[in-house]
Amino acid sequence: MKPAKSTSPLGRLLIALFWLGVWQAASMLAAKPVLFASPLDTVKALWALLPTGGYWLSVLGSLGRISLGFFLGLLQGLLLGIAAFRFAWLKALVSPLLTMMKTVPVASFIILILVWFGSGPLAVIVALLIVLPQIYFSTLSGLDSTDPGLLEMSAVFRVSALRRAWWIYRPALMPYLTGACASALGMSWKAGIAAEVIGTPLRSIGEQMYLAKVYMATAELFAWTLTVILLSSLFEKLVLRLLKEVGK
Amino acid sequence: MEIIVRKLSHSFGEKQIFENFELRLREGGIYGLTAPSGRGKTTLLRILMGLQKPDSGTIPQGVRYSAVFQTDHLLPGRTTVDQLLFVRGSRRDRDAAARFLSGLLPEDSLYQSVGELSGGMQRRVAIARALWADSECLLMDEPFTGLDEETLRLTADFIFAHRQGRTLLLSTHQKELLSGYPFAWLTL
Q: Please say if the pLDDT value at position B88 is more than 80.
A: yes
CB contact under 8 A, B51 and A157: no
Question: Reduced to 3 states, what is the DSSP secondary structure of residue A51?
Answer: coil
- Residue A109 one-letter amino acid: F
CB contact under 8 A, A156 and B75: no
Q: Please say if the pLDDT value at position A33 is more than 80.
A: no
For the stretch A90-137, pLDDT in tens is 999 999 999 999 999 999 999 999 999 999 899 999 999 999 999 999
Residues making up chain B, counted from first to last: 188
Q: Give dist(CA B179, CA B31) in Å, integer.
A: 13
B78 touches chain A (CB under 8 A): yes
What residues of B are in contact with residue A168 (Cβ under 8 Å)?
75
A244 touches chain B (CB under 8 A): no
What residues of B are in contact with residue A161 (Cβ under 8 Å)?
none
Question: Reduced to 3 states, what is the DSSP secondary structure of residue A111?
Answer: helix
CB contact under 8 A, B86 and A155: no
B69 touches chain A (CB under 8 A): yes
pLDDT-above-70 percentage for chain A = 99
Question: Reduced to 3 states, what is the DSSP secondary structure of residue A171?
Answer: helix
DSSP class of residue A33? G
Q: Which of B67, B62, B116, B102 shows the shortest CA–CA distance to B87?
A: B67
A2 touches chain B (CB under 8 A): no
At a CB cut-off of 8 Å and minimum separation 6, what does A40 contact? Answer: A24
Q: Give dist(CA A172, CA A147) in Å, integer.
A: 8
At A1, the pLDDT band (50, 70, 90 cuts) reads low
A149 touches chain B (CB under 8 A): yes
CB contact under 8 A, B86 and A159: yes
SS3 of chain B: the string is: CCEEEEEEEEEECCEEEEEEEEEEECCCCEEEEECCCCCCHHHHHHHHHCCCCCCEEECCCCCCEEEECCCCCCCCCCEHHHHHHHHCCCHHHHHHHHHHHCCCCCHHHCCCEHHHCCHHHHHHHHHHHHHHCCCCEEEEECCCCCCCHHHHHHHHHHHHHCCCCCEEEEECCCHHHHCCCCCEEEEC
Q: B125 to each of A33, A150, A173, B150, how far by Cα in Å?
A: 71, 15, 25, 17
What pLDDT does residue B84 have? 97
Give the chain A residue whose CA is nearest to the CA of B47. Answer: A156
pLDDT-above-90 percentage for chain A = 83
Mean pLDDT of chain B: 94
Q: Give dist(CA A58, CA A48) in Å, integer.
A: 15
Question: Reduced to 3 states, what is the DSSP secondary structure of residue A202?
Answer: coil
For the stretch A152-185, pLDDT in tens is 999 999 999 999 999 999 999 999 999 999 999 9
Q: Please say if the pLDDT value at position A3 is more than 80.
A: no
In this prediction, residues B8-25 reach a mean pLDDT of 91
CB contact under 8 A, B78 and A167: yes
A172 touches chain B (CB under 8 A): no
Q: Please say if the pLDDT value at position B186 is more than 80.
A: yes
How would you class B78 by CB atoms within 10 Å of its CB: exposed for 0-12, middle for 13-18, buried for 19 or more?
middle
Side-chain half-sphere of A223: how many Cα atoms within 13 Å?
22
Strands B15-25 and B137-141 turn out to be unpaired
**Do residues A150 and A163 lie in contact, with contact meaning Cβ atoms separated by under 8 Å?**
no
Look up the CATH number of domain A50-247: 1.10.3720.10
SS3 of A213-230: the string is: HHCCCHHHHHHHHHHHHH
Helical (H) or strand (E) element with A236: helix A218-247
| Higher per-residue confidence, A30 vs A146 | A146
DSSP class of residue A20? H
pLDDT-above-70 percentage for chain B = 100
For the stretch A187-234, pLDDT in tens is 999 999 999 999 999 999 999 999 999 988 899 999 999 999 999 999
Which residue among A149, A159, A168 sits closest to B87, beta carbon to beta carbon? A159
At B44, the pLDDT band (50, 70, 90 cuts) reads very high
Give the chain B residue whose CA is nearest to the CA of A151. Answer: B73
What residues of B are in contact with residue A157 (Cβ under 8 Å)?
66-67, 86-87, 133
**Do residues A205 and A117 lie in contact, with contact meaning Cβ atoms separated by under 8 Å?**
no
Q: Which of A120, A111, A108 shows the shortest CA–CA distance to A64?
A: A120
- For chains A and B, CB pairs below 8 A equal 37
Residue of B75, B83, B114 to mutate for A, most A C-beta atoms under 10 A: B75
Residue B97 zone, left/alpha/beta (φ > 0; ψ -120 to 50; rest): alpha
In this prediction, residues A21-33 reach a mean pLDDT of 86
Give the chain B residue whose CA is nearest to the CA of A152. Answer: B51
**Do residues A146 and A89 lie in contact, with contact meaning Cβ atoms separated by under 8 Å?**
no
CB contact under 8 A, A153 and B69: yes
Domain boundaries in chain A? Answer: 50-247
CB contact under 8 A, A152 and B51: yes
A57 touches chain B (CB under 8 A): no
What pLDDT does residue A5 have? 73
Q: Which of A82, A85, A67, A167 shows the shortest CA–CA distance to A126?
A: A67
At a CB cut-off of 8 Å and minimum separation 6, what does B98 contact? Answer: B81, B110, B111
What strands, in cross-sheet order, belong to the sheet with B137-141?
B65-68, B137-141, B167-171, B30-34, B184-187
Residues of B numbered 148-187 whose beta carbons fall under 8 angstroms of chain A's beta carbons: which are they?
Answer: none
For the stretch A34-78, pLDDT in tens is 788 899 999 999 999 999 999 999 999 999 999 999 999 999 999
